[in-house]
Chains A and B, each alone.
Chain A
């Protein structure tokens, strides 16, 4: 069933969004300087996400390179209505990083290991680019809205690269429970952030 609340954006477009779109238009025209601008703006965030997922500096670099080159090559096909350029770019980074760790997992026989509990989401120092849309208190409050099991499921999915079935296997929870934990966790965070 669909939710009664509509998909309201959490924030209206910002000056940064406009600058990103302008950069993407220049990229679509083949202006290398615009790619330089976009890279400088999001290199840290992109690399941080890639490194968080892959836990491998070399692989993270490859992921970020592929993502920015993907943006470079597909800028003309970017559909503005999908969301902000930043969200689009970071979703490419995330998807490629997940793909990389799944490929690595398929080819590397991992030894049995003592599984530490997944680390709780850490709140870094406020990032300048993040503060443009979400302030540290909001992020902290949103993450605090998660129960332990919701946090674990979302962590394993988004940063661990596990599929919902793999999460069910790993945690011993039924698949339906895993799906509910992820969905309810995301909705709990949204509730905190919604105006």
Chain B
């Protein structure tokens, strides 16, 4: 939770009367996202009770009941379960990341030459992790057998994040590499990992990203101190919600801020929206 307060000290920058005034709009999602967030912050931090919110929200289930029922396609369940299974494997991989960050002496093993490459080929050059990926794939297939996974490609998509994380790990294992845990400013939203090597190569793996449409891209930015954000490159995201980017020329400095924004098109020279995920590059922990 951020600590955004106006000079007057109002939680979320809103007075209690202002919150009461827009309470109905809040429970109906009829406010711009920034105002929704301000109300949420107010409710989370205001010492005064706001019973009007719960009172108005209590009738929302009636609106749900007034919708004509429509059945989702059976394949949707396959997609969701495949993504969840892949997510479960990714959590294990993240635990491995934490273990690795805590044991920097293992860095440097099985290095391969850096360079721009797609996720699939990057993952294929990870000897240290190839066995784990193989087991993960077998486990996922076994787990998903009961759900009649009709399209193998869906599983491949769902594993994109795992492959991306494996590529980031490759950079993170290099001596002196910095790592950043990416998280949504609101605490709920896209997460991921990034690593910056001493030779300035950055890799970032993200998940839980909303799919891009049209010309939209996710743009990565680096921010040094109070300098303006510098664009690192962009990528598009499909239904799997996973994203991966490599960039060079990133200074391996502790405290460097990495941010991700959703932009209407590629090539933006400045962010046009608030970041969806942010992380700070930190040096490896001393053994």
Residues of chain A touching chain B, judged by Cβ–Cβ distance below 8 Å, are: 1-3, 5-10, 30, 32, 35-36, 39, 43-49, 51-52, 57, 60-62, 64-66, 68-70, 72-74, 77, 83, 87, 90-91, 94-95, 98-100, 103-104, 107, 121-125, 127, 130, 133-134, 138-139, 142-143, 154, 157-159, 161-164, 167, 179, 182-183, 185-187, 189-190, 193
Contacts and interface: CB of A to CB of B under 8 A. Distances in A.
Nearest to B75: A61
Contact of B77 (A43, A77, A190): A43
Give the most central of A124, A142, A179, A183: most B CB within 10 Å. A183
Contact of A48 (B28, B69, B87, B211): B69
Given A49-B67, A104-B213, A7 B208 contact: no
B60 interface: yes
Size range of the interface on B?
Answer: 35 or more
Given A10-B59, A44-B72, A130-B65, A69 B24 contact: no
Smallest CB-CB A-B distances: 3 pairs: A7-B54, A157-B30, A47-B72
Contacts, number: 202
B96 to A, nearest CB: 16
Contact of A35 (B65, B76, B81): B81
A154 B65 contact: no
10 contacts: A2-B51, A6-B55, A43-B76, A43-B77, A61-B72, A66-B241, A163-B31, A179-B22, A182-B24, A183-B24
A32 B62 contact: no
A189 B33 CA distance: 26
B237 to A, nearest CB: 11
A65 B30 contact: no
Given A2-B20, A103-B213, A179-B25, A163 B32 contact: yes
Nearest to A193: B59
B239 A143 contact: no
Nearest to A103: B213
B55 A130 contact: no
B56 interface: yes
Given A2-B20, A39-B80, A154 B28 contact: yes
A86 B53 CA distance: 18
Contacts of A98: 29
A65 B67 contact: no
Contacts of A157: 25, 28-30
A40 to B, nearest CB: 8
Nearest to A154: B28
B4 interface: no
Interface in B1-53: 20-25, 27-33, 49-53
Given A107-B214, A142-B59, A65 B80 contact: yes
